[in-house]
Amino acid sequence: MITNLWYVAEWSETVLDKPVKAKVLGQNLVLFRDLEGKVKCLADVCLHRGGSLSGGWVNKKRDCVVCPYHGWEYNGKGKCEKIPSEGDDFKVPPRFKVDAYPVEEKYGMIWVFMGDLEEEKRYPIPPLPEYDNPEWRGLKTEFTWKAEASRVVENGIDIAHASFVHPVFGYPSTAEDNYIDQVEKHEWWARSTNVMFPPQLKGGFLGWRNFIRKDKQETRVHPEWHLPGMIVRIKIDLREGWHIVMFDANTPVDEHTTRTFAWQFRTFFKQKMFDKGSMKRLKTILDEDATIVEDSNPYYLPETLANEVSVKSDKFMSTFRMARRKLIEEKGWQIDMDERDKHKGKKVLTIASPVRREAEQEGQGWVFEKMPTVAPIKGEGAKNEFEKDVEQLTTDSANSKDSFVV
């Protein structure tokens, strides 16, 4: 699990007048709206006796969430503003703060930045131009995986598996005909264009889906990954003017659970009567994927290629692996779960937030200790491991007519 990225914590419509509990990167959070309707996000634990703030309420002024245990009040920046047992004249010490995380509301989702990185250094929330665009019909849903988030992302951008896992997307007999036509890679996201030869679509009212495309008709599919939000975005060009876009935010609830907040958009048959069928087909695809991903071994996405082999159809997935590894090995943003678990049930550890970093720069103390992270690899060690994987990728794809892009 990686810090210093934006993640979707909840749907906007879920957070109304009462505090709401969320969980991201294994940490409990409390979400609440202030008087202006803006969502605030704090670590869901009171400094006093560990009460869960999400079990409390928002005060009358709607500027603080109130702990249900002893009534301590915390504002949107995590500062304790009131301790009822000490009286109205009591001056709360500056260090009485909990971590507060930046929040953005986009696409009907509440995005929380889980880290302490300065605003100008944060990777941006990915774009979703189809949202609120009248040319597209949008439907939202969610899905929970018993799997690690990086495994879920890799599955989403792996086009080769479609011929075997998803009958609606491919034939095993055409697996060798499908190919990656182009890869565009950036620091925190990448996009590819794939040519596939899927079966004829079937079903729909009076069999209308049969007319969308012919059997094994050349179809272009454009998967993307984005590190912020652990996003998988897939655009499918069914025919001229007929497109589908799937936008999945894959939130690591913890190392064993991924909650997918998903939007599906289409440019055709935008009437409501067609929504039920669209959602049913999407649910079928997610179930087919979950059957495979949840049984994958090893459980976590391998950090190197030492015990795996790769081929030309894996070159787009490799862009995600390499970008993710840079966050771990060069930046040191991966949570050290072994170290964290040594303190489980014994002390509170919270992911460092911008308000904590600012307080520490001013010489103020902090009550809760930082969530430990894995130290980055320095110098030639990191470079050598990276070069070994590039060499392995190249070797595994030596017989391919395509160059292997990393």
Residue 235 near residue 222 (C-beta atoms within 8 A): yes
| Strand arrangement of the beta sheet that strand 57-58 belongs to | 57-58, 64-66, 73-75, 80-82
* pLDDT bracket for residue 406 (50, 70, 90): very low
* DSSP classification of residue 97: B
CA angle 321–231–350, rounded 5-degree value:
85
d(CA 246, CA 263): 6
Q: How many CB atoms lie within 10 A of CB 395?
A: 12
Report residue 122: phi and psi, to 5°.
-80, 140
Residue 218 has pLDDT above 90, yes or no: no
Q: At what angle do helices 149-157 and 315-329 cross, to 10 degrees?
A: 150
User: Does the pTM of the predicted model rise above 0.85?
Assistant: yes
Residue 15 near residue 110 (C-beta atoms within 8 A): yes
- Write the CATH number of the domain with boundaries 137-301: 3.90.380.10
Residue 401 has pLDDT above 50, yes or no: no
Choice between 221 and 201, residue whose per-residue pLDDT is larger: 221
Choice between 404 and 373, residue whose per-residue pLDDT is larger: 373
Rounded to an integer, the average pLDDT of 112-118 is: 97
Span 151-199, pLDDT tens digits: 999 999 998 888 788 777 767 777 788 878 899 999 999 999 988 877 7
Rounded to an integer, the average pLDDT of 146-151 is: 96
d(CA 221, CA 155): 15
Q: How many CB atoms lie within 10 A of CB 226?
A: 26
Rounded to an integer, the average pLDDT of 246-269 is: 96
CATH class of the domain whose range is 6-121:
mainly beta
d(CA 241, CA 146): 37
Q: What pLDDT shows up at residue 404?
A: 42
**Distance of CA 145 to CAs 148, 256, 258, 288, 321, Å?**
8, 8, 5, 12, 20
d(CA 338, CA 343): 9
Give the percent of the chain with pLDDT over 90: 68
Q: What pLDDT shows up at residue 166?
A: 78
d(CA 108, CA 131): 9
Q: What pLDDT shows up at residue 403?
A: 42
Q: Which of 162, 175, 180 is nearest to 402 (CA)?
A: 180
Give the lowest-confidence range in 200-204, 254-258, 286-290, 392-396. 392-396
Report residue 221: phi and psi, to 5°.
-125, 135
Domain ranges (residues) in the chain? 6-121, 137-301
Span 19-78, pLDDT tens digits: 999 999 999 999 999 999 999 999 999 999 999 999 999 999 999 999 999 999 999 999
